Amino acid sequence: MKKIVSIFLILLLFMFQKSPFVLANDSTLTWQDDGIPEEPIYNELTGEFEIYTPNQLAWIAYKTNSTTAASDLDGWSFSIMNDIDLSGRCWIPIKKFSGIIKGNNRTLRNLYLNSDENYSGLFALLSSATVSDLNLSNVSIISDSLFVGSLSGYANRSLISNVKSDGNVSGNSCTGGLVGHCNATNIILSSFNGNVVGLDKVGGLVGCYEDTYCRYLVTYMKQCFSSGKVNGNQYVGGLVGSEYYTGIQDCYSLCDVSGNSVIGGLVGIVVNAKNNYQIVVSISSIMAENTYSFGNVSGNSYVGGVFGGGVAGLGLNYWNINAIHKVDNVELDMFSKSGAGCYSTNYKKLTITQMKDKNNFSSFDFGDIWNIDSEINNGLPYLRNYDYNGLEQAAYTSTNISNYGSYYIGTIDLYNISLPCYIVIAKYKGDQFVNVEFRKYEKVTETFSVTEDVDTIKIMVWKHLNNLEPISDVEVKKIQ
């Protein structure tokens, strides 16, 4: 028995020394290398080009990036016929696309992109395009430039419908889990689950969402959500980083959101498109309504449960009063928390228990749009028209540690993880391993104590102790 435990501990320490996520890609190879792109099959009956292989998908990028005969494929229609694995090579974005993509609820897996150029994603730019019924799974988008998203870096006058994505996205300003920057683009029944990191205008679904053409709120985001973690500097939101004269309706965010200034659980800031420094109410309609945010928020200034800055118009929006709110690294008490960092109006605060009772969401349409079921979305309101089956929601933990002199008290919040599960806590003094604890957790929020003199703890979540495959990343916490 001791030998089994020793082997288990050795394996555990090995896992804590390495990242749990390994890219199955060679960045020296791309999907644009000679001989890789292959023209899709044209179906004369449907008038569509059918895509069965990654090589055929790469042909679209090849065609739009051609130095001799580049085309935006205006009016061309492509239909994804198979699930496609993009591992093994680095993706080169489809440069500018003005056609139609029918995903047929197929999945593109392991999209990997590492670029220092602006406009990064499966598409660099969607222009008067339509993308529907497509899944992106285990994406890894790495960029230090502008306009970054898993689906597209930028979308202009396009339609995105029923597109689901999960994974990791990192970029500079205008970075979003699904799209970096949207202009006059409608998004419906779409989601992103995972981690998003950027600089300014960073959102769990969209970094910057605006309409510079009409100014009358005909551009909208409806029945969408985000889940995971979002981190940036300024104008950071769980769903959208910054919103300019667009509408957000019947959406929600479960994200933990952190940054420096103007941080919101749902949207970072609502801004007048004519003057970026003036925060205004929409002059013609509602800018956000029938939404809720659930995750923790932290920043140095203008931190709100729903909005970091701005006014949400006339709609009613809800937020989790039990979520952790930190300003200047100081956790606020129940009475100091606010639905918005400034100009607060029309926000209703609810406890976690209250958020699982539909009677507390007086403005929600529970007949056609919303529903509540204890077995779905952790008992929180979910979108009736969204297909949650097979949804790979990001599993992760959020940890808070308080110093009480000779010992520490910590809390672990579990998100999108089926319970019960096991928390593994490894403790370190400097680089020296001290010990490890295994705990069975049966509630969304649990408390633990650390009595040893340690500097760092590392946390991993397992579904079963006899299964060494983690269901969440390692989270490292330095103890102050």
**pLDDT tens-digit profile of 365-418?**
999 999 999 888 989 999 999 887 655 444 545 566 666 666 677 766 665 555
Determine how β-strand 112-115 pairs with β-strand 94-97.
unpaired
Residue-wise DSSP of 33-100:
STT---PPEEETTTTEEEE-SHHHHHHHHHHHH-TTT----TT-EEEE-S-EE-TEEEPPPEEEE-SE
Contact (Cβ atoms closer than 8 angstroms) between residue 72 and residue 127: yes
* Concatenated DSSP letters of 343-390: S--SEEEE-TTGGG-GGG-TTS-TTTTEE--TTSGGGS-EETTS--TT
- At position 185, the amino acid (one-letter code) is T
pLDDT of residue 109: 95
Alpha-carbon distance 62 to 24, whole Å?
22
| Residue 216 · residue 189 · CB < 8 Å | no
Backbone angles phi, psi at 371, to 5 degrees: -155, 165
The whole-angstrom separation of Cα 220 and Cα 210 is 9
8 Å CB contact between 221 and 247 = yes
C-beta separation of 260 from 299 below 8 A: yes
CB neighbour burial string for 100-128, b if at least 16 within 10 angstroms, e if fewer: bbbbeebbbbbbbbbbeebbbbbbbbbbb
Residue 4: the pLDDT is 39
Mean pLDDT by runs of 10 across the 480 residues of the chain is 42 42 57 91 95 96 80 90 95 94 95 94 96 95 96 96 95 97 94 95 96 68 95 96 88 95 91 37 56 94 86 72 87 71 69 94 94 90 84 53 68 62 76 75 68 77 54 56
**Of 84, 76, 43, 45, whose CA–CA distance to 60 is shortest?**
76
How far apart (Å, rounded) are the C-alpha atoms in residues 320 and 127?
A: 37
First to last CA, the chain: 37
Q: Which helix (H) or strand (E) holds 6?
A: helix 2-17
Q: The whole model's pTM is what?
A: 0.77
pLDDT at 120: 97
Which of 231-261 are b and which e, b meaning 16 or more Cβ less than 10 Å from the residue's Cβ?
Answer: bbbbbbbbbbbbbbbbbbbbbbbbbbbbbbb
Q: What is the pLDDT of residue 208?
A: 97
Q: Is the dihedral of CA 260, 266, 271, 273 positive or negative?
A: positive
Distance (Å, rounded) from C-alpha 422 to C-alpha 387? 28
pLDDT of residue 398: 58
Q: From CA 388, how far away is CA 392, in angstroms rounded? A: 9
Peptide bond into 381 cis (omega under 30): no
CA 192, 195, 198, 201 torsion: positive or negative? positive
Burial class (CB in 10 A: 0-12, 13-18, 19+), 432: exposed
Helix and strand counts by DSSP (H, E) for the chain: 2, 46
pLDDT at residue 410, rounded to an integer: 73
As given in the structure block, the two tokens for residue 56 are 């055929």
Nearest to 237 by CA among 308, 168, 320: 308
Alpha-carbon distance of 175 to 199, in angstroms, equals 8
Using DSSP's 3-state secondary structure scheme, residue 466 falls into: coil
